[in-house]
């Protein structure tokens, strides 16, 4: 349910501090100033925050979502974006407070918000609260069809941890008494990765990223060849690479299956797809129309995340495709491209139509 406005024209905002227009009352000798929010500023900040999340610039994302929140504190996507950026920065209690407020004020689709709340509780190791929430959901028959099994597994896991006395029951004021969180069992990970929503899968992978993932390498490598969201597969590969897992794996994306050695892969931000298209578009657009260049590169970065680590041929053709799409958004008429470029443009549009599970 988190999506981006497609091909929206970006607007330059001169004031970096307030990002508002200040209009002076010329009729008053006191020169009182009336501050008027820039139209759609909150949604522009939301879009920028989403882009920062995709690029793993989580501090920047939190700042952008925070600014948007000040303008539209009841907006569902802004609240969730802010909560998720806080999660990525390890500020779980702050994220929990945001989601608690959403539930209290009825912001967003109820079960979706509850889902995020449960995943934050999992990160906090607050299994008693997980038990309370899940049992209430099951008793009140508020669980959508197809979600019962994964919640039952989460409930069973939390009960097991509480029964073992391993729950985090220390005061934040006395961190020296912190009990090490027990490792999640492979079967529990498998259930969430197989049956959970995209958001639940993302939270589970995020949880694993902070641990030694070698006990689950086999499970994660299997995930790469299953029918899963390409963003989540990229995230999985990034986790494996960051922990220097030296293993040859198969990756299935968009109907292609490739074999790669994880340690030999470039990081997501340094692919040929990204660097080559960036160079072509920069030479063509940056001086003449920097806003078009920025908008085109936002698309390229999103699609690079989805396509990683596929070897995409004809990058000049892809650069031409991105150029034509942003030109069309600006009402610039170009002569009809050949069939080869038309095929690439269709692929780009298909990628642009995909949602990301991060937000």
Q: Which two tokens stand for residue 138?
A: 């099951």
Q: Is 340 left (phi over 0), alpha (psi -120 to 50) or beta?
A: alpha
pLDDT of 242 reads: 92
User: In 196-271, which ranges are continuous DSSP H helix?
Assistant: 198-209, 217-223, 230-242
What letter would DSSP give residue 338? P
Identify the pLDDT of residue 191.
81
Task: Point out the least confidently predicted range of 35-44, 102-111, 143-152.
Answer: 35-44
Structural element, H or E, at residue 246: none
Residue with tokens 């907006």: 75
Q: Which residue has the higher pLDDT, 249 or 21?
A: 249
Mean pLDDT of 207-231: 90
Look at the alpha carbons of 225, 227, 231, 236 in this order and tell me if their dihedral is positive or negative: negative
Nearest to 168 by CA among 271, 93, 106: 93
pLDDT of residue 14: 34
The DSSP string of 267-315 is PGGG-HHHHHHHHHHIIIIITT-HHHHHHHHHHHHHHHHHHTT---S-H
Average pLDDT, the chain: 82
Tell me the pLDDT tens digit for each residue of 69-123: 999 999 999 999 999 899 888 899 999 999 999 999 999 988 889 988 998 888 7
Residues with Cβ within 8 Å of 203's Cβ and at least 6 positions away in sequence, in order, are 87, 116, 119, 120, 122, 123
Report, at the CATH architecture level, how domain 270-352 is classified: Orthogonal Bundle (1.10)
Which residues in 41-54 are b (16+ Cβ under 10 Å) and which e?
bbbbbbbbbbbbbb
Return all residues near 180 (Cβ < 8 A) that are at least 6 apart: none
- Do residues 204 and 189 make contact, with C-beta atoms less than 8 angstroms apart? yes
C-alpha radius of gyration, the chain, whole number: 23
Q: Is the dihedral of CA 80, 82, 86, 92 positive or negative?
A: negative
User: Of 10-14, 155-159, 299-303, which gets the smallest average pLDDT?
Assistant: 10-14
Residue 354: the pLDDT is 86
Q: What is the mean pLDDT of residues 323-341?
A: 91
Residues 196-228: b if buried by 16+ CB within 10 A, e if exposed: bbbbbbbbbbbbbbeeebeebeebbbebbeeeb
Measured between alpha carbons, how far is 347 from 359 in angstroms, rounded to an integer? 23
> Across residues 118-136, what is the average pLDDT?
89
- Tell whether omega for the bond before 309 is within 30 degrees of 0, i.e. cis: yes
Question: Mean pLDDT across the stretch 192-196?
Answer: 84
At 248, which helix (H) or strand (E)?
strand 248-253
- Phi-psi category of 165—alpha, beta or left, where left has phi over 0 and alpha has psi -120 to 50? left
Q: Is the pLDDT of residue 7 over 60?
A: no
For the range 153-161, what are the long-range contacts, defined as Cβ-Cβ under 8 Å and sequence gap of 24 or more? 153/188, 153/191, 153/192, 154/118, 154/122, 154/130, 154/188, 154/192, 155/130, 155/131, 157/127, 157/184, 157/185, 157/188, 158/127, 158/128, 158/130, 158/131, 158/134, 159/127, 159/131, 161/125, 161/127
Q: How far apart (Å, rounded) are the C-alpha atoms in residues 220 and 205?
A: 9
Q: Which two tokens stand for residue 247?
A: 């293993």
- Tell me which of 233 and 87 has the higher pLDDT: 233
Q: Please state, in angstroms and rounded to a whole number, the distance separating the CA atoms of residues 336 and 37.
A: 41
């Amino acid at each position: 349910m988190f999506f981006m406005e497609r091909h929206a024209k970006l607007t330059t905002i001169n004031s970096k501090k307030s990002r508002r227009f200040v209009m002076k009352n010329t009729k008053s000798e006191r020169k009182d100033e009336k501050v008027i929010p820039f139209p759609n500023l909150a949604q522009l900040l939301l879009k920028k925050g989403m882009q920062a999340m995709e690029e793993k610039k989580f501090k920047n994302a939190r700042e952008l979502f925070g600014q948007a929140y000040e303008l539209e504190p009841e907006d569902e996507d802004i609240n969730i974006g802010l909560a998720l950026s806080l999660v990525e920065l390890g500020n779980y209690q702050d994220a929990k407070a945001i989601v608690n407020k959403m539930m209290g004020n009825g912001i967003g689709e109820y079960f979706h918000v509850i889902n995020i709340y449960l995943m934050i509780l999992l990160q906090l190791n607050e299994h008693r609260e997980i038990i309370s929430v899940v049992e209430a959901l099951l008793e009140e028959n508020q669980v959508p069809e197809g979600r019962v099994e994964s919640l039952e597994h989460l409930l069973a896991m939390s009960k097991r941890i509480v029964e073992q006395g391993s729950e985090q029951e220390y005061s934040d004021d006395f961190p020296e008494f912190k009990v090490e969180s027990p490792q999640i069992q492979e079967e529990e990970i498998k259930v969430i990765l197989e049956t959970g929503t995209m958001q639940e899968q993302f939270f589970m992978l995020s949880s694993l990223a902070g641990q030694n993932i070698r006990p689950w390498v086999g499970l994660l490598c299997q995930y790469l060849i299953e029918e899963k969201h390409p963003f989540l597969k990229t995230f999985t590969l990034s986790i494996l690479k960051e922990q220097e897992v030296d293993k040859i794996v198969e990756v299935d994306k968009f109907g292609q299956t490739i074999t790669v050695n994880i340690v030999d892969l470039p990081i997501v931000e340094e692919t040929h797809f990204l660097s080559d298209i960036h160079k072509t578009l920069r030479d063509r657009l940056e001086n003449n129309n920097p806003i078009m260049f920025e908008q085109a590169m936002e698309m390229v970065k999103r699609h690079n995340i989805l396509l990683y680590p596929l070897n995409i041929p004809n990058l000049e053709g892809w650069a031409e495709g991105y150029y034509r799409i942003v030109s069309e958004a600006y009402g610039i008429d170009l002569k009809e491209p050949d069939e080869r470029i038309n095929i690439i443009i269709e692929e780009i549009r298909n990628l642009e139509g995909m949602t990301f599970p991060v937000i």
